[in-house]
């Protein structure tokens, strides 16, 4: 059944109409209009519940352009390719589990499950941004062991086309969150992190004020390194990946995954409240 086309009024009715400006728009009405135009997403409103977002159509709200159509085609192709995956082989290759006919993959400490058709399940909110990267990881990951060679995103194979977007939307987006309260962010980040918060791992991280590693996928660790501002320099945040990430996930899915993480962290840390 075709989803109802939403209007600015539909979006506005679901908002609290406080005009808090936390989304970056001057009013709730302006935000609703930008959502319909495809220039904002519902998740950029820190006060909308996941249930309300899904009721409005989730990430499908707003005008669809050629890029959206391309992403839909890519997702459908991933679903089709995933249908041929041998779950037992994939679990051994990518560090996952098989239980009840589903492939279980850990993402930031939460287990997400894929059934034979590629449908996604989780005990927590099903974050749509993780669905495509999970399918890609299960289907195409080489499952290579970690090298210990940490590199910035732009040094990964095939990252050239995504490096500019990654710098702006992922690194700068996460930096804005951390800048608000670095100590709180990295202390709280430990709930997603299997490694000690503040762990230092040699150059170029030894001078960083905060360093920690999280695992968006079992064999795709992400290192977050942050340098606090001082009298001479502005604060700096750089995201590093193990060199094996270029064959264990790929640049496009890494970009989608980290961008989704930034959106999630924005919601969690915007009011210093944790799920």
Residue ranges of the domains in the chain?
8-60, 66-140, 150-269
The tens place of each residue's pLDDT in the chain, 275 residues long, gives 334 567 878 888 889 988 888 888 878 878 887 888 777 888 888 888 888 888 887 766 766 544 444 556 788 899 999 999 999 999 999 999 999 999 999 999 889 999 999 999 987 665 668 999 999 999 999 999 999 899 999 999 889 889 999 999 999 999 999 999 999 999 888 787 655 433 444 455 678 999 999 999 999 999 999 999 988 899 999 999 999 999 999 899 999 999 999 988 887 776 554 44
Taking residue 38's Cβ as centre, other Cβ atoms within 10 Å add up to 14
Report the distance separating Cα 266 and Cα 262, nearest Å.
6
| H or E, element range at 217 | strand 210-217
User: In this structure, what DSSP letter does residue 253 have?
Assistant: H
- In the CATH hierarchy, which fold is given to the domain comprising 8-60? 3-methyladenine DNA Glycosylase II; Chain A, domain 3 (1.10.15)
Does the predicted TM-score (pTM) go above 0.75?
Answer: no
Query: How many angstroms separate the most distant Cα atoms in the chain?
Result: 59
Task: Give the pair of three-digit tokens for residue 261.
Answer: 């993480």
Write the burial class of residue 97 (CB in 10 Å: 0-12 exposed, 13-18 middle, 19+ buried): middle
Report the distance separating Cα 61 and Cα 10, nearest Å.
11
Cis omega (within 30 of 0) for bond into 107: no
Is residue 246 within 8 A of residue 152, CB to CB? The reply is no
């Amino acid at each position: 059944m075709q989803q109802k086309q939403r209007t600015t009024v539909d979006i506005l009715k679901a908002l609290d109409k406080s005009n808090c400006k936390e989304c970056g728009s001057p009013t709730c009405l302006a935000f609703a209009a930008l959502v319909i135009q495809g220039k904002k997403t519902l998740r950029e409103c820190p006060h909308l519940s996941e249930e309300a977002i899904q009721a409005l159509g989730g990430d499908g709200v707003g005008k669809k352009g050629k890029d959206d159509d391309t992403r839909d085609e890519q997702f459908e192709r991933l679903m089709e390719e995933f249908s041929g995956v041998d779950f037992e082989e994939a679990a051994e290759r990518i560090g996952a589990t098989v239980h009840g006919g589903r492939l279980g993959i850990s993402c930031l400490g939460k287990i997400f499950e894929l059934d034979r058709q590629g449908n996604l399940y989780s005990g927590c909110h099903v974050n749509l941004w993780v669905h495509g990267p999970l399918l890609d990881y299960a289907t195409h990951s080489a499952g290579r062991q970690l090298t210990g060679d940490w590199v910035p995103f732009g040094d990964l194979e095939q990252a050239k086309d995504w490096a500019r977007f990654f710098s702006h939307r992922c690194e700068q987006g996460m930096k804005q969150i951390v800048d608000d309260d670095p100590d709180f962010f990295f202390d709280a980040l430990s709930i997603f992190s299997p490694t000690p918060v503040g762990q230092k791992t040699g150059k170029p991280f030894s001078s960083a004020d905060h360093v920690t590693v999280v695992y968006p996928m079992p064999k795709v660790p992400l290192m977050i390194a942050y340098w606090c501002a001082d009298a001479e320099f502005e604060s700096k945040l750089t995201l590093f990946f193990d060199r094996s990430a270029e064959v264990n996930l790929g640049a496009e899915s890494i970009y989608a995954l980290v961008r989704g993480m930034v959106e999630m962290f924005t919601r969690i840390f915007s009011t210093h409240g944790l799920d």
